[in-house]
Amino acid sequence: MRAKKQMQVMLALFLIVVASHHKLFSQDIIVLNNGEKISSKVIVIGISDITYKKFENLEGPDYVIAKDDVLKITYEDGRDEFFLQKSPSASNKRPASSVEPGLNLAYKGTLDADFNYNKKWPFWTTFGGTIIFLPVGLAAGLISGIVTPNIAVLIPEKELLENPVYYDAYMKKAKLKKWGRVGRGLVFGVAFNVAVFIILSSSYN
């Protein structure tokens, strides 16, 4: 009877973790020309404007932004939509032509990695190992973080891989995102085990 109750508790907590993790990544990201990112839920993409709601307040008012101010939108499924710039935007601090080519490529590499490198397995590998046994989770997370990200299929313009400035910027950001997922997997795994321990301990009292 106790074993059945333990399984029910663990299953319920596991479903909560899955739902929480999905919610963290179920948002659209609007990237402006100046690098600012808006967590949102896109409602309508019009001829010249984009209407959206802020992700932290989906029941709140609609917001509208000019398409000329937007570089791209990364949707919750990981798909990117880029927008052609017809005229200089007031949101740009300076025109792209005044930026050194190397800086442009480094920025583009960072931006591409931020929105195209969305591998979830470092999180789930670390989380799964942690709920089994903490040292297993630590080892799984360490291995997941050390393995070099496979980015060849995740770059919109693959010829840019030949440019060392772009490549280094992309890899640096991809590694940071990977370690971030490892960290979240560890935190979620520990929280899961603590919750199971607390619930089961209280049920025996």
203 backbone dihedrals φ, ψ, rounded to 5°: -75, -20
Q: In this structure, is residue 8 part of a structural domain?
A: no
Is residue 158 within 8 Å of 152, Cβ to Cβ?
Answer: yes
Q: Could you tell me if 167 and 178 lie in one domain? A: yes
187-150-114 Cα angle (round to 5): 60
Q: In this structure, is residue 16 part of a structural domain?
A: no
Note the Cα 181 to chain centre separation in Å: 9
Cα–Cα nearest to 74, from 28, 23, 25: 28
Task: Report the SS3 class of residue 139.
Answer: helix
Q: Give the Cα separation of 188 and 181 in Å (integer).
A: 10
Which pLDDT belongs to residue 100? 43
**Percent of the chain residues topping a pLDDT of 90:** 17
Domain boundary among 66, 83, 98: 98
Q: In this structure, is residue 11 part of a structural domain?
A: no
Rounded alpha-carbon distances, angstroms, from residue 200 to 1, 74, 205 = 13, 41, 9
The span from the first CA to the last CA of the chain, in angstroms, equals 16
Q: Which residues in the chain land under pLDDT 70?
A: 1-15, 17-25, 77-78, 84-103, 152-156, 203-205
Q: In this structure, is residue 165 part of a structural domain?
A: yes
**Residue corresponding to tokens 């789930």:** 124
> How many domains, the chain?
2
Which pLDDT belongs to residue 82? 80
Which pLDDT belongs to residue 149? 83
200 backbone dihedrals φ, ψ, rounded to 5°: -70, -35
Domain boundary among 98, 119, 148: 98
Which pLDDT belongs to residue 1? 54
Range(s) of the domain holding residue 58: 28-98
Indicate whether this model's pTM tops 0.85. no
**Helix/strand/coil (H, E, C) string of 140-192?**
HHHHHHHCCCCCHHHCCCHHHHHCHHHHHHHHHHHHHHHHHHHHHHHHHHHHH
Domain boundary among 98, 116, 149: 98
Which pLDDT belongs to residue 161? 78
Q: In this structure, is residue 5 part of a structural domain?
A: no
